[in-house]
Amino acid sequence: MNKKLTSRQIQAQNTQDKIYKVAVDLIQKKGFQNITVDEICKAAGVSVGSFYNSFRSKNQILDRIFKLADDYFQDVVAVSIVEGPARDRIVKFFDYYATYNLERGLDFVKQLYTVKNNLFATKGRHMQSVLEKVIEEGQQRGELSTEMTPNETVIFLFIAVRGVVYDWCLHDGKYDLSKAINSYVTKLLKAIVI
């Protein structure tokens, strides 16, 4: 049974959502490193105290961006890639990854793909766990090589695919990201499909 939120809790959630949306807009325009909490608060029309009631720090905005991506991969992608050969499921996973980046937009993705953002390297993220499960199942069924562990295979694939996204950003989105990722993943799979 869900507990009904009080008007104060609803207001706090609305404030947090407003701050988040404004922060994301500012990140897209100026980059995460180039904005301040004061700037976010002014643009959102809230006090600095309201910001810190909603988020512990500016970095928690970035954490939420990555959590939303992880939730999407756990709640939407994982249930969409449960059937078929491991090879096809991996390709489909990265089709979703390309689409997710495209939906965020070039300018926003450019701001995330920086060496100052180490959240890509965070262990235990749902996004990677979804793919790891597909690889583990593929290895158990004898479809994929066991030369690398499932985790090592995830890292192998993501290093290349993130490189494609980074290159797409460097070229201002002048080529089809979905086709490029699909092409790279298809070639990479030759190294692990039996």
Per-residue pLDDT reduced to its tens digit, 9-51: 888 889 999 999 999 999 888 888 889 999 999 999 999 999 9
- Domain for residue 171, yes or no? yes
Residue 128 lies in a domain: yes
Residues 91 and 149 in one domain: yes
Q: Are residues 26 and 78 part of one domain?
A: no
Please, which residues have CB within 8 angstroms of residue 172's CB and are 6 or more apart in sequence? 106
Query: What would the two tokens of residue 93 be?
Result: 């996973």
Q: How far apart are CA 63 and CA 136, in angstroms?
A: 27
pLDDT digits (tens, 9 = 90+) for 150-167: 999 999 999 999 999 999
The CATH number for 72's domain is 1.10.357.10
Instruction: Give domain status of residue 194, yes or no.
Output: no
Q: Are residues 33 and 77 in the same domain?
A: no
Number of domains within the chain: 2
- What is the model's pLDDT at position 159? 95
Same domain, 44 and 123: no
CATH number at residue 45: 1.10.10.60
Which residues, in sequence order, are bridge partners of residue 144?
193
pLDDT single digits (tens) 99-134: 999 999 998 899 888 877 777 887 889 999 999 999
Structural domain for 150, as ranges:
62-189
Give the 3-state secondary structure of the chain.
CCCCCCHHHHHHHHHHHHHHHHHHHHHHHHCHHHCCHHHHHHHHCCCHHHHHHHCCCCHHHHHHHHHHHHHHHHHHHHHHCCCCCHHHHHHHHHHHHHHHHHHHCHHHHHHHCCCCCHHHHCCCCHHHHHHHHHHHHHHHCCCECCCCCHHHHHHHHHHHHHHHHHHHHHCCCCCCHHHHHHHHHHHHHCCCEC
Co-location of 38 and 115 in the same domain: no
- Residues 129, 95 share a domain: yes
Q: Are residues 47 and 74 in the same domain?
A: no
pTM, two decimal places: 0.86
Residues 121 and 165 in one domain: yes
Q: Are residues 86 and 141 in the same domain?
A: yes
Q: Is residue 2 part of a domain?
A: no
Q: Are residues 78 and 39 in the same domain?
A: no
* Predicted local confidence at residue 29, as pLDDT: 86
